[in-house]
A and B are shown apart, each in its own frame.
Chain A
Amino acid sequence: MIDVQNVTKSFGSFGALRGVSLHVDKGDVVAILGPSGSGKTTLLRCINYLEIADSGTMTFDGESFDMHSISKKDISRLRRKTAFVFQNYNLFLNKTVLQNVTEGLIIARKVPKEAAEKKAIAALEKVGMADRLDSFPSQLSGGQQQRVAIARALAADPEIIYFDEPTSALDPELIGEVLSVMRDLAKEGMTMLVVTHEMNFARNVSNKVIFMENGQVIESADSKTFFENPKEERTKLFIQTIQSGRE
């Protein structure tokens, strides 16, 4: 469904991405792992054009794009097929829970208000937030805000949802509620590309894992192989460190 080849991106003299490629099929849940500063988030932001890559090509549903010179029109066309969940939720602060979900539908996609609200409520029910329709983001916990953000992503019927460290800003006791929503989505066959530090999610929910370091993909494998039989020394070390950190 999505194929990305040789993405590069520098900030000044710092090479954040140094030729990264990845491939996502329909129904895949791909976890992108790696230490901080490895370029995971930059990669995700380049894939959704929140940053413009220095070079790279993307094939989305059989259509090819140059990731550096892509037109604004194509960017917004691609964005309508995708959704993005941010680390800091980024709910619209001046909008209620319901409005947060309907806003994009009504304003960008021209869905009639009633239909949009119906859709929004269905999405909010899925994440267990349908009882807080009239609350403002400031009145919700981080976990609740992130669930609303996921509902906002779902409501647009995206072909893929990008998650940028969706649980990293949350208090430990709130992480579970967000992960369980994501697990349900994965079960329903939603295609997801997830930058995360949650090893359990990567191991048990995702079917593919990409391990990045220093702006490059070190290893890419199905998740069982990745955790049980990693090829690269660096990957083994990473998995060991993570696991010893747990105990």
Chain B
Amino acid sequence: MNEKLLQLLIDSFWKILIAGIRVTIPLAMLSFLFALVIAVLVAVIQYANIKVLRPFIRFYIWIIRGTPLLVQLYVVFYGLPSIGIVLPAFPSAVFCLAVNEGAYMAESMRAALEAVPKGQLEAGYCVGMSYWQIMRRIILPQAFRTAFPSLSNSFISMIKSTSMASTITVTEMLRQTQIINGRVYQSFALYMEVGLVYLIFCTVLTWLQSYGEKKLSAYGGTR
């Protein structure tokens, strides 16, 4: 019996890991990439004080922060088809994760932008650069460095949030585990196991994060 369980855990470990590599990681990476684009846009609009767009930004952040990710997934995947918008499961998940995490990351980016000393902008003006040239080449790069730890945290949290995509039929790690469990009924062992795989992923990312932080500070502190 114990040997059988062990064999089951070994077999399922690879299946779960493969689902992780094939689905969870790409889902997290794609979503993170889009979230980053959203976050930078939203943060820059707020920082640059583009007045016409600010109400939209506030509305977006209000909606996203005030509703659960799970509900957002349901609305997009199960709800939108009834008004004629049909998105496959994976793109629905990418959309929701990106839009959701983007709202939170925008706040980190905005704080990081505001932490860039005001003199950087003035110095840029004085060498003849335009606002957007200074933004792109001086302010944003510095803000990224400041925001790096919190953006890394967002990515790690994104890895875990992908598990919610299991509820809209994306066969990522958790759903893969559920499928295996449906055949063998070893809930405790299998869910512990998938938890362990998430833990491995997040641990590796944490290492990468502290490596990245060291690398950035070796390259010259910002202050």
B133 touches A107 (CB 8 A): yes
Asked if residues B223 and A138 are in contact (CB atoms below 8 Å), the reply is yes
Query: A132-151: contact bitstring with B at CB < 8 Å (1 yes, 0 no)?
Result: 00001111000000000000
The verdict on A156 contacting B128 (CB below 8 Å), with A94-B145, A107-B137 known, is: yes
Partner of A50, one of B125, B130, B138, B145: B125
Mask, B106-150, CB within 8 Å of A = 1, is 000000000001011011111111100100011001100100000
Which residues does chain B contribute within 8 Å of A104, judged by CB atoms?
Answer: 124, 127-129
0/1 interface trace, chain A 20-54, chain B, CB 8 Å (1 if under): 00000000000000000000000000001010000
Report the Cα distance A79→B102, complex, angstroms: 38
B55 within 8 A of partner (CB)? no
Number of chain A residues close to chain B: CB under 8 A: 27
Interface centre among B125, B130, B222 (most CB of A within 10 A): B125
Q: Is the CB of A108 within 8 A of B133?
A: yes
Q: How far is the CB of A172 from chain B (nearest CB, A)?
A: 23
Q: Does A76 contact B (CB under 8 A)?
A: yes
**Which residues of B are found within 8 Å of A139, using beta-carbon distances?**
220
Residue of B123, B125, B222 touching A138 (CB-CB under 8 A): B222
CB of B219 within 8 A of chain A? Answer: yes
- B138–A92 CB distance below 8 A: yes
A136 touches B220 (CB 8 A): yes
Tell me, yes or no, whether A119 is within 8 Å of chain B by CB. Answer: no
**The one of B119, B129, B220, B223 that contacts A90, using a Cβ cutoff of 8 Å:** B119
Query: For residue B141, which residues in chain A have a CB less than 8 angstroms away from its CB?
Result: 94
Within 8 A of B (CB), among A72-94: 76, 79-80, 82-84, 86, 88, 90-94
Cα of A95 to Cα of B130 in the assembled complex, Å: 17
Q: Given the interface contacts A83-B126, A107-B133, does A92 sit within 8 Å of B120 by beta carbon?
A: yes
| B128–A136 touching, CB < 8 Å | no
Choose from B119, B124, B138 the contact partner of A88 (Cβ within 8 Å): B119
Q: Is A187 positioned at the interface, with any CB of B under 8 Å from its CB?
A: no
A208 contacts chain B at the CB level, 8 A cutoff: no
The complex places the Cα of A136 from the Cα of B67 at a distance, in Å, of 44
A165 contacts chain B at the CB level, 8 A cutoff:
no
Measured between C-beta atoms, what is the minimum distance from B143 to chain A in Å? Answer: 10
Structural contact, A103 and B127, CB atoms closer than 8 A: yes
Q: Which residue of A lies closest to B118 (CB)?
A: A90
Interface residue? A152 (CB, 8 A): yes
Please tell me if B84 contacts chain A, counting CB pairs below 8 Å: no
Name A93's contact: one of B126, B130, B137, B223 (CB within 8 Å): B223
Whether B66 is near chain A, meaning CB under 8 Å from some CB there, is: no
Q: Who on chain B is nearest to A82 by CB?
A: B126
Is A234 located at the chain interface by the 8 A CB criterion? no
B128 x A80 contact (CB < 8 A): yes
Give complex CA distance A83, B124 in Å. 11
Which residue from chain A places its CB closest to the CB of B133 in the assembled complex?
A: A107
Nearest CB of A to B211, in Å: 20
Q: Is B182 an interface residue (CB 8 A)?
A: no
The verdict on B68 contacting chain A, using a C-beta distance below 8 Å, is no
Q: B residues within 8 A CB of A95?
A: 138
Q: B178-201 vs A: 1/0 string, CB under 8 Å?
A: 000000000000000000000000
Residues of the B chain whose Cβ atoms lie less than 8 Å from the Cβ of A92: 120, 123-124, 138
Are A108's CB and B123's CB within 8 A?
no
- The list of the 9 closest CB pairs from A to B, nearest first, reads A104-B127, A136-B220, A108-B128, A90-B119, A90-B123, A84-B126, A138-B221, A94-B141, A108-B129
Interface of A with B (CB < 8 Å)?
48, 50, 76, 79-80, 82-84, 86, 88, 90-95, 103-104, 107-109, 136-139, 152, 156
B residues with a Cβ closer than 8 A to A are: 117, 119-120, 122-130, 133, 137-138, 141-142, 145, 219-223
